[in-house]
Chains A and B, each alone.
Chain A
Amino acid sequence: MAFDYDLLIIGAGPGGYVGAIRAAQLGMKVGIIEKDKAGGVCLNIGCIPSKSLVHQAEDFHSIGNLERMGVKVDLAGFDYGNVHAESRKAADQLSKGVGFLLKKNKVEYIQGTGIITGEHEVTVDGDKKISANNILIATGSRPRELKGFEFDGTTIMSSDDILMRTDLPKSMLVLGAGAIGCEFTHIMNRFGVEVTLVEMLDHILPTEDEESAKVLARSFKKRKITMYTSAKASPPRKENGKVILDVETKKGNKTLEAETLLVTVGRAANTEHIGLENVSISTENGFIQIGDYYQTSVDSIYAVGDVVSVTPQLAHVASKEAELVVEHLAGEKVEPRLDPTTIPTGVYTEPEVAGFGYTEEQAREQGYEAASNSFPIRGAGKSVAIEKTEGMVKIIYSTKTQEILGARIVGTQATDLIHELMLARSSELITTDISKMIHAHPTLSEALMEAARATEGWVIHA
């Protein structure tokens, strides 16, 4: 039986569009269905515009440095609307870029809402039936809404809402100190908003290594960001254009008040209204369950990215998973499922927080004779010159084989720096390979070399 497409992808985010291009490269006839804009959350209301805000927040912050040089800056004309507009420009440019790439690779872009109506069939906008040999679900996620904290767009905001906001609030509460919560805390603080961060677990960045989180917490504290950890919030009240949040902490109850509340407590998978029930694909807590090669309970249908429960909800994870699925479909030999210890994470605050692999405790639980050593970013001369001395590099390694088991970097540009250690790990280089390699001076990368030396007990600059 002939299908309209070899592969039909639902969702043109970083999972869908990468999968589509790769599939086209491998000779498949590919269609991709998107109800909003090419590039998905990542490009349009996620990673990209938020990085534009982070960047502009740093520019704004550096006004202080200009004044030190004697430059007088008149802030009277400052308009956050311009900042927002700039972030949209970046998003639009990249979204168009994705559209172009899809076109260039002869992927058919189908604007509309796709619902699976058969094992080989998707119906777009209720009437147009399209068939395909295989279907890939890459519908992504949306900000998770808590009961009693329903988003209203202005006083109770999701990350989508704050990214679309064209003015600055005077004060803001942030509920949930994960990567997204911390990034907006950072951005708003840089623009002079009074920010209070509330986290239910016992440290900010609760899924990150505690030592890394502490470095960021220290930095936040210096910047007069109020933080409450191990804090439980009751549903907020709205009074006189303010939002009031009762918080229960170990040190007693607090009543917090601000102009607006940002709720960043995770992201919910977009698995409703996509027709899973029509082909009886099973979900658990809203996530699609998958096999080794991301296949669902229906042979012809695969799922990747934020809708899948086994891997973290990150753009680069979705992209890689989509590549694997497509290569698998093309008959190439691929490794089953991503190994979570090979996935890098990044938090784009200042300092940044990046990492991969096991923490020391996790490595021990896995049976490794693990140890870890840290080196302060301050020890790399360049950090002093560029006035970004906060942070550290930590390498978790096997004392028996010098295998690199994981790493954490907190510091400026940590999200870029981490890749040297990742490449070392994936190529099975050992700590000595890094400690002995010449690193240019002055660079921040020298801190990585020194951290590797620390594992051998011979740092030079500490």
Chain B
Amino acid sequence: MEFTESQIERYSRHIILQDVGVEGQQKILEGKVLIVGAGGLGSPAALYLAAAGVGTIGIIDGDVVDMTNLQRQVIHFTADVNKAKVLSAKEKIEQLNPDVKVVIYQDLLSTYNIFDIIKEYDIIIDGTDNFPTKFLINDACVLTGKPFSHGGILRFEGQTFTYTPGNACYRCVFISPPPPNAVPTCSQAGVLGSIAGMLGTIQATEVLKFFVGKGELLTNRILTFNALSMEFRNISFKRNKNCPICGEHPSITELQTYDLPVCEIKQ
């Protein structure tokens, strides 16, 4: 693949990096990422991955932009209130970088559509705000051997890790979803807007490292941070032989359905 003159300029700061270079940028341009949720995490992730020239960015989200989103979901602007989030995100990405093909799914990710959607992508970003969908992404990715980046934020804290086949999965640590309402949502507990950017850009960085094939991914360790103390920790964890989905004797061999808390689904 030959770069155009404008691509040479646009990606010059990547090409100049020894660990990205011409080959790495070509891999980025051929990469396909699915972002689940065009929200706090998905917004910065989508913007940086688009700026980096990721070839195909899929975005799935069933919501419309709400005024309360704008404090942290930076891909959406005030004029986008009431617009479908996937449309709002697509418009910004196309303005940022016409090299990127944007595929949108105005839908909730579910047991019915997840396999069909994820099979089109190299890696998935979990930018969701609820445990049932986090477990759904984990299970579908483990069952089909698809890498994903897990992410979660609340109040001043964030956590993320990366799954690749053969390494520890979400269920190796968190066996099953917490009971509904056991963990507050961002709408209940609040979240500092900028930490969505901190975490979402870490997820975008993992995806770029995955495409380029350089560095060490956040596999078998969870990165957590607290923005108040501004302390970052790496917590190692191992593949769990008793994991219900990737252990020696898995009890989960097909997708599970967990009820989404009613307050999180806007009709």
Whether chain B is bound by chain A comes out as: no
State the A residues within 8 Å of B (CB). none
State the B residues within 8 Å of A (CB). none
